[in-house]
Amino acid sequence: MKNDKITYGLFEDESADPEVRAAMQKDVKIPEELLEKREEAFRKIRDGQKRHHRPGYSLYARIAGLAACACAAVIAFSGASYAVGADNLFSRSFARIVEATGGNKDYNQRKIETIAENAEEITAGSSSETSGIVSSSESGKIPADAQTANRQTSADAKNISLQAKEYYCDGKILAVTMEIEDKDGVLSGYDYVHAAMGEDSSRNPSLTINGQELGVPGDFYFQKDADGNFVTLKEINLRYHEVWDGCSFPDGSSLDVSISIPELEAGMAGPLEEGNELQSRKILGDWAVSFSGTCRADGNHVIAENQASGDVMLNTVTRTPASVWVDLTVPQNCGGIDLENCGYAVNLVLEDGTIVQPEDGMSLNKNEEGISSPFGEQAWRFVNPSGEHFAVLVRAKDEQLTKLAEYHL
């Protein structure tokens, strides 16, 4: 079912669609050379010349599917013993995700370390007011009395409870920690619980902030902790929603956050095994949690602005407690390259050679027609820059890199 066609204005002319569809779906004669090569491949498989990859690969392969949504930087939380335990857990689980993405491992590891450093500072007594990290003893801890303010910080269904625990918001990102407790032990044999975006939109997780349902919130991936519960740190890119959904998150503004998860799927991290009935299990329910909070952007500082280099305009560089944001305007024809052509991506490269690729929804570019493309306004995010110098690169489909601009902050 292609709901896309109903939803999008670009498909207004439906009259041609059945004709085109029928023509495109008509079977073609498979050429002999292809049939021969297919048979050759089949023979290699039958003869055992090709084998399945060893099961050990499967965990990373499974996590890799999550990476696009989940590899955004990790925010550490301070305070309660829960958070202390969770820091290590998140570091491990995100390290696995990072590893599954391949490449840039050192950089991603450094991102995790940066978060850990932040968390320690907060634990040591730094003020949450100046750091922007909201500790669990202050407003970052979703208060137990939230229920009295018409906020449902925990939800139960099928004897499985979902609880929102802590949040962090600096105006550019919102991160929430959540925990699943399984009272009947039906999840005890599983390694993770996943609330994924799927074909059936009625079963997808949803996110509402200040009464506005925001676009795709992405997957929620809960990792098992030492107590047998499942925990996650979900990061929401507010900058993305600012651009695409017209939301605004100024310092001191209130946040009313609602998260709904209608379906959970529990799974095992190991390889698929014949006859193992525990491989995965879907549980339908209605886990809806909500909480109120405050956006704290007073820890954000603009450290550079309005610098041109080559064809690229650096609008601002903003340091938040969690990361560094770079806002650029990249023209369509840049450095002699027409970025409209398929396969180009704009990346940043840090002083140590690390290439920073777009993270979850971080490429906020719109061209004059309001269509996303590798040019136009762009927002980038990275953590713990290795120096005060970075370059803007364009990466072609063949992986060739061309430097467009260079900045010294």
Q: Residue 74 CB, nearest distance to other proteins (Å)?
A: 23
Contact 217, 205 (CB under 8 A): yes
The residue (of 41 and 308) whose beta carbon lies closer to other proteins is 41
The residue (of 290 and 347) whose beta carbon lies closer to other proteins is 347
Contact 268, 278 (CB under 8 A): yes
> What is the rounded (10 degree) CA torsion for 171, 355, 76, 68?
80
**Count of residues for the chain?**
409
Q: Residue 46 CB, nearest distance to other proteins (Å)?
A: 7
The residue (of 179 and 359) whose beta carbon lies closer to other proteins is 359
The residue (of 198 and 252) whose beta carbon lies closer to other proteins is 198
Q: What are phi and psi of 176, to 5 degrees?
A: -130, 135
Give CA–CA dist 101/83, Å, rounded. 26
The residue (of 2 and 277) whose beta carbon lies closer to other proteins is 2
Q: Residue 281 CB, nearest distance to other proteins (Å)?
A: 13
The residue (of 57 and 351) whose beta carbon lies closer to other proteins is 57
Distances (CA, A) of 225 to 82, 191, 289: 10, 9, 21
The residue (of 83 and 261) whose beta carbon lies closer to other proteins is 261
Contact 123, 78 (CB under 8 A): yes
Contact 191, 290 (CB under 8 A): no
Q: Residue 268 CB, nearest distance to other proteins (Å)?
A: 11
Give CA–CA dist 175/213, Å, rounded. 17
Q: Residue 375 CB, nearest distance to other proteins (Å)?
A: 12
Question: Could you tell me where the beta strands, DSSP code E, fall in 116-219?
Answer: 154-157, 160-169, 173-182, 192-195, 206-209, 212-214
Q: Residue 279 CB, nearest distance to other proteins (Å)?
A: 10
The residue (of 110 and 224) whose beta carbon lies closer to other proteins is 224
Q: Residue 343 CB, nearest distance to other proteins (Å)?
A: 7
Q: What is the 3-state secondary structure (H, E, C) of 356-407?
A: ECCCCCCCCCCCCCCCCCCCEEEEEEECCCCCCEEEEEEECCCCCEEEEEEE
Q: Which of 50, 49, 73, 71 is nearest to 60 (CA)?
A: 71
- Identity of the amino acid at 200: D
- Identity of the amino acid at 306: N
Positions in the binding site for other proteins (CB under 8 A): 2-4, 8, 10-11, 16-17, 19-21, 23-31, 33-34, 36-38, 40-42, 44-46, 50-53, 55, 57-58, 61-62, 65, 68, 199, 267, 271-272, 274, 342-343, 345, 370-373, 397-398
Give CA–CA dist 316/236, Å, rounded. 21
Neighbouring residues of 179: CB distance < 8 A, sequence distance ≥ 6: 82, 162, 163, 165, 229, 230, 231, 232
The residue (of 40 and 184) whose beta carbon lies closer to other proteins is 40
Q: Residue 349 CB, nearest distance to other proteins (Å)?
A: 19
Q: Residue 267 CB, nearest distance to other proteins (Å)?
A: 8
The residue behind tokens 């292609």 is 2
